[in-house]
């Protein structure tokens, strides 16, 4: 029986992708470090122990699998070293297709860890598709920005007034479900964005309008961001450099462009930030 292995099954994208695949009648192996704690959304879903850092989990995870949804751990400077052994194992297991989620714009920097992983997959001989989403709307609701808002009704980022075409992870998961279950996407790379570029000040205003009180965006310097992260426990220079690079890309305009890929694949417009905020307003109340 052919199955789809979803890495990050408890995360922002994978957690939404698993039930979408089950709804399409697919049998899904949902990767998790602790299968006993995983609540399967369907009888079509099999919790499966998996850890990139534990190669002994690879064989069982890949049994009967012909398609994989892959991603790296967030902001991992060692992503290339962690993921390539699993890619080798997938090839040995005769996996037919790898859908790898990376990030918008990485194709412009060959030494970026996520781009190095893409190139490794390209050279592996396994059929592939890459999705490169922009920054998640979900960073405001379930991600790293939400605790800042909860603490002070403000959030602090070193992005000046640059714009970003934010995308909801629900749209990313829906695109991934199509790619994994319908033909015509092999060998392609898709940049996924929302339909409207917004500054973080504009985001703050939208959130404020929805929740009925003021949420403020406060621009800070890169130096201040690194200091704050260091105080929060991110002491390794590699991690700080990684975040500096990502926020630097925002400041220079790399995250402002809009693509129409989501609309083309899903045949519907991407979720707007306002609609996202209405659905997720409980995270800021």
Q: What are the pLDDT digits (tens) for 65-122?
A: 999 999 999 888 899 999 999 999 999 999 999 999 999 999 988 888 999 999 999 9
CATH superfamily name and code, 134-166+193-257+267-285: UDP-galactose 4-epimerase, domain 1 (3.90.25.10)
Q: Do the domains at 3-133 and 134-166+193-257+267-285 have one common CATH topology?
A: no
- Using the predicted structure, report yes or no on whether residue 235 has a pLDDT greater than 70: no
CA–CA dist 145, 203 (Å, integer)? 12
* Residue 240 pLDDT: 82
- Please, which pLDDT band fits residue 17 given cuts at 50, 70 and 90? very high
The torsion of the CA quartet 248, 251, 256, 262, rounded to 10 degrees, works out to: 30
Which pLDDT value is given to residue 233?
Answer: 74
Give me the mean pLDDT over the 128-157 stretch.
96
Of 254, 265, 258, residue with least CA distance to 195 = 258
Spans of all domains in the chain: 3-133, 134-166+193-257+267-285
Does residue 176 contact residue 118 with C-beta atoms inside 8 Å? Answer: no
Length of the chain: 285
Integer CA distances (angstroms), 206 to 167, 218, 256, in order:
15, 15, 18
Considering Cα of 138, then 224, then 162, then 207, what sign does the dihedral take? positive
CA angle 93, 39, 19 (to 5 degrees): 65
Q: Where does residue 233 rank: exposed (0-12), middle (13-18), buried (19+ CB within 10 A)?
A: exposed
Cross-strand partners of 32: 49
Question: What tens digit of pLDDT does each residue of 168-226 get?
Answer: 999 999 999 999 999 999 999 999 999 999 999 999 999 999 999 999 999 999 999 99
As a whole-number percent, the residues of the chain with pLDDT over 70 amount to 99
Second-level CATH architecture of 3-133: 3-Layer(aba) Sandwich (3.40)
Q: What is the per-residue pLDDT across 243-284, written as a single tens digit (0 to 9) for each?
A: 888 899 999 999 999 999 999 999 999 999 999 999 999 999
């Amino acid at each position: 029986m052919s199955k789809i292995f979803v890495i990050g099954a408890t995360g922002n994208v994978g957690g939404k992708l698993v039930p979408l695949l089950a709804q399409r009648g697919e049998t899904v192996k949902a990767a998790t470090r602790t299968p006993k704690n995983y609540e399967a959304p369907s009888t079509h879903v099999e919790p499966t122990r998996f850890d990139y850092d534990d190669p002994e989990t690879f064989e069982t995870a890949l049994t009967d699998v012909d398609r994989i949804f892959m991603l790296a751990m967030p902001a991992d400077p060692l992503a290339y070293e962690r993921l390539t052994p699993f890619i080798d194992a997938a090839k040995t297991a005769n996996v037919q297709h790898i859908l790898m989620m990376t990030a918008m714009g990485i194709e412009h920097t060959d030494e970026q860890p996520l781009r190095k992983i893409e190139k490794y997959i390209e050279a592996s001989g396994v059929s592939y598709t890459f999705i490169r989403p922009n920054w998640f709307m979900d960073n405001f609701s379930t991600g790293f920005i939400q605790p800042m808002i909860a603490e002070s009704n403000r959030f602090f980022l070193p992005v000046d007034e640059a714009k970003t075409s934010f995308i909801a992870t629900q749209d990313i998961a829906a695109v991934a479900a199509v790619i994994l279950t319908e033909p015509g996407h092999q060998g392609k790379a898709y940049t996924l964005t929302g339909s409207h570029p917004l500054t973080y000040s504009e985001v703050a205003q939208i959130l404020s309008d929805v929740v009925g009180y003021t949420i403020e965006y406060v621009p800070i310097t890169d130096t201040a961001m690194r200091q704050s992260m260091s105080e929060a426990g991110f002491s390794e220079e590699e991690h700080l450099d990684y975040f500096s690079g990502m926020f630097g890309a925002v400041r220079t305009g790399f995250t402002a462009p809009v693509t129409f890929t989501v609309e083309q694949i899903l045949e519907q417009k991407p979720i707007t930030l306002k609609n996202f905020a209405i659905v997720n307003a409980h995270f800021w109340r």
